[in-house]
Structure 1
Amino acid sequence: MLPNRIYIIFKAAALLLLLCMAAPAFSQHLHGQVVDPQHTPIVGANVIWQGTTTGAVTDGNGNFGLSYADATTASIVVSFIGYRPDTISVAGKELITVVLQPATNIKEVVVEGQLQRLSAISPANSQLITNRDLEKSACCNLAESFETNASVEVSTTDAISGAKQIQMLGLDGAYTLLTTDNIPTLRGLATPYRLNYLSGTFIESIDIIKGMGSVLNGYESISGQVNVKLKDPDKTERLYLNLYGNSRAKFDANLNLSAQVTPKWSTVLMLHTDHLGNRVDRNNDGFMDLSLGTQYNVYNKWKYEHKDVMSEFGVNALQETRLGGQMEYEKREPEGPNQHFGTESGTDRISFYNKSSYTFPGKPYQSIGLITSAAHHKFNSLFGRRNYSGEQNSTTARLIFQSVIGHTGHTYKAGLSYTHDDYSERLSDTSFARTEQVPGAFLEYVYNNSKNLTVVAGSRVDLHNMYGTVFTPRLNVKFDATPNTIFRVAAGKGFRVANPLAENTAALVSSRRFVFREALQPEQAWNVGGSFTQYFELGGRPGAFITDYYYTTFQNQVVADMYSTPQLIAFYNLKGRSFSSSFQAELQYEALKGLEVKTAYKYYDVKSTYNGQLEQRPMIPQHRFFVNLGFATPFDKWRADLTTQYFGLMPLASMEQQHNADLSMRNSDQFFVLNGQITRALKRWDIYLGGENLLNYRQPSPILGAGDPFGPNFDASMVWGPITGRIIYAGLRFKIN
């Protein structure tokens, strides 16, 4: 069946290619590599168009790409701490190599990049996870791509289904806008397993933006944006093979193939499959520690470039099946006294996007572009004796015009957008359906005095067919007090329509009943915050100190109340306060040549009003520590990485508690998680060996009432720590550049 589906997908891709041959596109691009005098690639160098704040950060091979549409002059500025910045004319060039010379004094350096790829040119508080960072851990999928980054947490939602979610600024992943190549994706009903739907081998880099972000990407972002940049057809390896296996008998196979088909056309085909068929129960509670599953994932991207025209489109098809539950559970067991508890899910997804634009001749600062996307997502799942199924069909379109006001110190982007979402869900005998149609308009103005101040002010107005007019203002300000001292301030509003079933599937793995007390209204929140960044040199080696604080307050929120009454989860609109305070302090330093140290402390104060009482939100630690050590020998022949995380106490809402006036709660334990990996690089091969949860810490009794899974006290949703114990893995990568 699968080969027929793949044949249909590629046939559709070929047809789409013919349809898009005449599509206008973005603009001609400049590609290059930044190296030191020994021609060793420099990772994390900043390359920006002179006189602008638009640029790129070099990847794990020192490569970068820029669009001439963003240029105001035909010169670029290249910089990296410890090296002298250089201004280079690139008129008429498409491919260059930049050699940076070591600096003898840090004062000679205009610092715009740093360890761990901190962005010093972005007005927003942004960090970049490069391809090299991704290779520091297994990174089989997006869920495992944040292990060496302190800004984003990934947690398991329950002890049976295998679903994971991210957290940012103390808020659930639903409040973080996930985009691929700056196109919103994996929204709505895809939320429960969306981190598994992007293979790590598809990813070139990940940009993490705290705060509201740009109005160009819509109104849904509240806590931040995670933008996943996928492999670029004309910059990625000609061949990339990755094979992975671990001690739980999970196997991954990945193959990327790219080709320059003609001087104007390039393509990349990315294939991924993974399989886990081994049943393991190390804590002897009668349930599998990990859900079984198989996934097939195909992604094909095409790119066209010619003079002032560029077009890019891609198609993605995915099929996944999962099975979890008791060790003896078999698929679709009949109901009865001897029935075992199990979870099942089957997902079929196909999506498509196109990005096209035209740059006006003689005006590299002025362009017009069209971005469109479409997705079909369908799933069927079973949680014990409850069936949950759904289907989502979505289309989006954005028309963007970019130009200047007088000169390039004043630029703006204006445009129109349209979003169509058609949802249908069914939980047991209850159906839920809605259709959202949202036309909108947006304007974003950028002021840059070319010295030390950048202001980005934007707003959008959307006409929601169900909820009326939605106004979304946002502001980002960046001030460079010195070349090494940067202040940022951000404020804005977010709006989103919640999907309470898809966003709370963990509660389905329990005996809780789902109760909707009233018609749910859209969620609205304000986010205000800022950051301080100080670059420094100590003992001749570079470092950076970063601290930030963000406060999010909800005007309305869909409350998922598991506190007030045992044995149910009640959904209702917020009546009272709900807020999140997030503080983070981070220190990065090159302690020795080749040894990078990153340490961070995070404090969260996240509260919501439950049944008239303000309480800490469950499953969120108030205190968290993070330490990452990365070491590489000259020429990267050996690389080693070690990450330690400490998680403080978390409040829990237990099925066993009794209803009382003060809603008293129990807490989780405190614990540490240690991950590590070592890599040996050969000519074209990388061989890696690593371990997750090396201290073998496991949450005691992650499943409450495991002996009676259909009884009133069964609950597998209170997962606050690791449940699988130590995992050892190994793999190899083969590349032809």
Structure 2
Amino acid sequence: MKNIFSIFIILISIVGYSQSKITGKIKPFQNKATTVTLIELGKIATPDSLGTFVFDSIPNGKHTIEVAFEEYNQKKQINLNNETKEIVFNVRTSENNIEQVVVTGTLKAVSRLETPVPVEIYTSTFLKKNPTSNIFEALQNVNGVRPQLNCNICNTGDIHINGLEGPYTMVTIDGMPIVSSLSTVYGLSGIPNSLIDRIEIVKGPASSLYGSEAVGGLINIITKNATQAPIFSADFFSTSWLENNLDLGFKKNIKDKANTLIGLNYFNYNSPIDNNHDNFTDVTLQERISIFNKWNFIRKDNKLFTLAGRFFYEDRWGGEMNWNKSYRGTNQVYGESIYTSRQELIGKYQLPVSEKIYFSFSATNHDQDSFYGTTKYAAQQQIGFGQLTWDKKLGSHDLLIGGAYRYQFYNDNTTGTIEPERTHIFSVFGQDEIKLAKMHSVLLGSRLDYNNNHGYIYTPRIAYKWKFTDSDILRINAGTGFRVVNLFTEEHAALTGSRDVIVEENLKPEKSFNVNLNYLKKIRFENASFLGFDISAWYTHFSNQIIPDYETNPNQIIYKNLNGFAETKGVSMNIDYMSNFGLKAILGASILNSENTKDGVTATPMLTEKYSANWAISYEILEWNLSFDYTGNLYGPMRLPVLGKLDPRADTSPVWSIQNIQTTYKWNDKFEIYGGIKNLLNWTPNKKNAFLIARPNDPFDENVEYYPNGDVKPTAENPYALTFDPAYVYAPNQGIRAFLGLRFTIK
């Protein structure tokens, strides 16, 4: 009896202390800072490079496992009984991570939660929801940002932010102001998407840190760090319009001394289409190649040294359907042909001292050889830039002090350029972020520029942040901005068509004052889903603004500083939602009002929408390796540049929308195939318009008759009193098309 009792006790002990094993997998695994916790025992496991983790010698019973990183948190329960069980976490994350490190708002790396300047982030994952051949088109799904085409034939354009025209938007690559004036459109083309880590956007003036052109906002394209990039990546897609785009990326480690990242982009569209039957190409034909190379040098003192370069070449043309290069510059067949060659160099070097002192530099050379019909425009722009910054923390003060020098050479063959322009800008700037209390901080900044053509320009700013919690933040920003105008480099309308260009005075720098209020709120739920709100209101006041005047004389474009003032104001909201069952949504809407007051008369500027909306809705079925994306935008009415009172074209655009769908299938961690439809509604701006291009049958105005005062005379052949003009454009003139692509990645 005693032996039986002993055996019974032993059996109970064995059962009570029997142990099991847990193996787990995180799919997809992208974040190295992920922690996996066995809550009841307080054990923590670190996933390997494939996202696999293990817990050994676990007592039987119920246990809770938690996976957490950044804003993501997911829990699962498991019941163990003398066994090895496998558990899989299908991870879904938001593309709009509020805890990500940003650099654009303050010129230093800081958590997005901590920066007093609102910064929006759009990752490479967001760009894949609607694949495009360039960043210019990709930005169409960002709230408050609108790519604006400025010519129906050559399809050049710029980026509008919060209703302000493209020249008010500064574009940088890795923080370097290498995209400027003449090169704005081309700087946004040909950057291989495979090398883009994220895009950071600041809405509102950033002139106190970045100088001229950063009046309306700043777009900073940040390339991948070579240490985190895949060994090889390839992305190819083609459309039913026979547009072909190829992105290649390579990474190479060179022992323990350096690593390098090489990217190549090639785009080709060579199939003229004329769906609106005006005998002109609906979309510009292009052949483009871009090569990008970035180096990270590993120094013995562990200090930073990066160096990157890019070569870009593009041949684009649009015009009459029978145009070829033998007609370039002639008056036989109308065409607009642009050859662009561009070289860029970017670098950042941390000085070998104990302080955080960085020297950044960039250099660009941009050559453009173009014909707009018989009008030749040959231009060269060279920019050299150097900047020294000192990043220092002193108690509750976080300081950034710096100086910069920018040299710009510009020359073209226009009558407005008597001799090459050489501009020297010397700058000093500083900012101090002061921690007032646990939840309160204020940023004070100022910049003094000396321009050899315009003298001294001072731009201060102030920002205040009230951080209620990590997911509840209020920010207020105010500051001034300025912009030195380069007319012909920024206004293709001044070169194309038959309107005469009139510059009535020496153009003075534009100046602005802006105030911006931003509120960020994130609501996290226990089931790993969350809901976020990002709400902004802004007001901008301009003096000396330069607004092209298309109306005083329909045959002219008149440029001069505004005798009055201009205002733009509005509100916008972004909603970011992520469920725990595969649904994600980024929804945005903006309402804005832009007005300029001239000689006491107030009017709305051309090509400025009253409201807009954007969305990117995704649904993932991770078990099937499938995802679906529905993206789109909607724009309210805007004034359009018609040619006089007899012009039958609408002087106001309708409400219009471009919508896209996509399906992606991932075979494994290496292959994925995607396809879908762009412009699902088949919307183009020629709908409800008799024509888009004025007098496409007479592009050289050979049959136009004029009154003695220069006005166009209505005739039987020209009843609307028009001249040839392709400037009536506000939206892409490309209808519905299918696309199919393949991605291959070796990590």
Secondary structure of 2:596's counterpart equals strand
Corresponding letter in the other structure for 1:324: G
Q: How far did residue 490 of structure 1 move?
A: 0.8
Matched, 1:728 2:728: no
Corresponding letter in the other structure for 1:373: S
Q: Deviations over 1:421-467 (max 9, x none)?
A: 11112237864632111112111111235732232211111221111
Distance in 2 separating the partners of 1:43 and 1:156: 37
- The aligned counterpart of 1:622 is 610
CA contact (8 A) 1:112 1:120 kept: yes
- The aligned counterpart of 2:452 is 465
CA contact (8 A) 2:74 2:526 kept: no
Distance in 1 separating the partners of 2:130 and 2:419: 40
**Change beyond 3 A, Cα 1:285–1:477:** same
Of the candidates 139, 148, 151, which is equivalent to residue 158 of structure 1?
151
Distance in 1 separating the partners of 2:417 and 2:446: 38
Matched, 1:702 2:692: yes
Matched, 1:504 2:482: no
Q: Which has the larger radius of gyration?
A: 2
Question: Equivalent residues in 2 for 1:84-95 (5 A)?
Answer: none
Q: How far did residue 379 of structure 1 move?
A: 0.5
Secondary structure of 1:143's counterpart equals helix
- The aligned counterpart of 1:310 is 304
Distance in 2 separating the partners of 1:205 and 1:323: 31
- The aligned counterpart of 2:61 is none
Matched, 1:476 2:486: no
Query: Once structures 1 and 2 are overlaid, which stretch shifts more, 573-582 or 441-450?
Result: 441-450
Corresponding letter in the other structure for 2:221: V
**Change beyond 3 A, Cα 1:372–1:335:** closer
Corresponding letter in the other structure for 2:659: L
Query: Once structures 1 and 2 are overlaid, which stretch shifts more, 162-171 or 711-720?
Result: 711-720
**Change beyond 3 A, Cα 1:101–1:462:** farther
Of the candidates 281, 284, 293, which is equivalent to residue 291 of structure 1?
284
Of the candidates 331, 351, 367, which is equivalent to residue 325 of structure 2?
331
CA contact (8 A) 1:192 1:503 kept: no
CA contact (8 A) 2:531 2:576 kept: yes
**Change beyond 3 A, Cα 1:431–1:682:** farther
Distance in 2 separating the partners of 1:343 and 1:111: 45
CA contact (8 A) 1:426 1:432 kept: no
Question: Equivalent residues in 2 for 1:42-441 (5 A)?
Answer: 79-82=70-73, 112=99, 119-213=112-206, 215-306=208-299, 307-333=301-327, 339-358=332-351, 360-361=353-354, 366-405=355-394, 407=395, 409-427=396-414, 431=418, 433-441=420-428
Aligned residues with identical type, % of pairs: 25
Q: Which runs of 4+ in 1 moved over 6 A?
A: 42-47, 100-103, 334-337
Gaps of 5+ in 2: 1-22, 35-49, 52-67, 76-87, 92-96, 102-110, 702-721
CA contact (8 A) 2:461 2:479 kept: yes
Q: How far did residue 273 of structure 1 move?
A: 1.3
Matched, 1:718 2:728: yes
Matched, 1:555 2:548: no
Matched, 1:486 2:473: yes
Q: Deviations over 1:535-569 (max 9, x none)?
A: 22479531012211111111222221112210110
Distance in 2 separating the partners of 1:614 and 1:127: 33
CA contact (8 A) 2:399 2:432 kept: yes
**Change beyond 3 A, Cα 1:487–1:81:** farther
- The aligned counterpart of 2:56 is none
Secondary structure of 2:467's counterpart equals strand
**Change beyond 3 A, Cα 1:497–1:430:** closer
Secondary structure of 1:709's counterpart equals coil
Q: How far did residue 198 of structure 1 move?
A: 2.5
Secondary structure of 1:560's counterpart equals coil
Q: Deviations over 1:95-130 (max 9, x none)?
A: xxxxx9999xxxxxx98479xxx9433321111111
Q: How far did residue 531 of structure 1 move?
A: 0.8
Q: How far did residue 336 of structure 1 move?
A: 7.3
Question: Equivalent residues in 2 for 1:660-699 (5 A)?
Answer: 666-683=651-668, 684-699=670-685
Q: Deviations over 1:668-689 (max 9, x none)?
A: 1122221121111122111110
Secondary structure of 1:309's counterpart equals coil
Q: Deviations over 1:627-678 (max 9, x none)?
A: 321112227821211023222111112113379xxxx992111222211211
CA contact (8 A) 1:496 1:524 kept: yes
CA contact (8 A) 2:515 2:540 kept: yes
- The aligned counterpart of 1:631 is 619
Distance in 2 separating the partners of 1:691 and 1:148: 15
- The aligned counterpart of 2:630 is 642
Distance in 2 separating the partners of 1:569 and 1:496: 20
**Change beyond 3 A, Cα 1:649–1:592:** farther
**Change beyond 3 A, Cα 1:396–1:334:** closer
CA contact (8 A) 2:507 2:561 kept: yes
CA contact (8 A) 1:212 1:527 kept: yes
Query: Once structures 1 and 2 are overlaid, which stretch shifts more, 699-708 or 371-380?
Result: 699-708
Q: How far did residue 329 of structure 1 move?
A: 1.3
Distance in 2 separating the partners of 1:319 and 1:441: 35
Distance in 1 separating the partners of 2:557 and 2:650: 16
Distance in 1 separating the partners of 2:379 and 2:742: 38
Distance in 1 separating the partners of 2:537 and 2:432: 25
Distance in 2 separating the partners of 1:372 and 1:305: 19
**Change beyond 3 A, Cα 1:606–1:210:** same
Q: Deviations over 1:500-543 (max 9, x none)?
A: 21222035332211111111111211111111122224795310
Aligned length: 641
Secondary structure of 1:174's counterpart equals helix
Of the candidates 445, 466, 472, which is equivalent to residue 432 of structure 2?
445
Distance in 2 separating the partners of 1:690 and 1:389: 40
CA contact (8 A) 2:237 2:246 kept: yes
Distance in 2 separating the partners of 1:44 and 1:212: 33
Distance in 2 separating the partners of 1:629 and 1:507: 40
Q: Deviations over 1:214-267 (max 9, x none)?
A: 734334311111110112222211111111211111112222111111213010
Secondary structure of 1:302's counterpart equals strand
CA contact (8 A) 1:154 1:164 kept: yes
Root-mean-square deviation (Å): 3.0
Corresponding letter in the other structure for 1:688: Y
Q: How far did residue 613 of structure 1 move?
A: 3.2
Corresponding letter in the other structure for 2:469: T
CA contact (8 A) 1:308 1:359 kept: no
Secondary structure of 2:486's counterpart equals coil
Gaps of 5+ in 1: 1-35, 48-60, 63-76, 85-99, 104-109
Query: Once structures 1 and 2 are overlaid, which stretch shifts more, 711-720 or 366-375?
Result: 711-720
Distance in 2 separating the partners of 1:503 and 1:458: 29
CA contact (8 A) 2:477 2:516 kept: yes
Q: How far did residue 42 of structure 1 move?
A: 6.9
Q: Deviations over 1:371-396 (max 9, x none)?
A: 11111111111111211121111101
**Change beyond 3 A, Cα 1:217–1:359:** farther
Q: Deviations over 1:325-350 (max 9, x none)?
A: 0101122527777x221100111111
Distance in 2 separating the partners of 1:39 and 1:606: 49
Q: Deviations over 1:147-178 (max 9, x none)?
A: 44223221222211021321111111221111
Q: Deviations over 1:680-702 (max 9, x none)?
A: 11221111102221100111232
**Change beyond 3 A, Cα 1:199–1:568:** farther
Corresponding letter in the other structure for 1:547: I
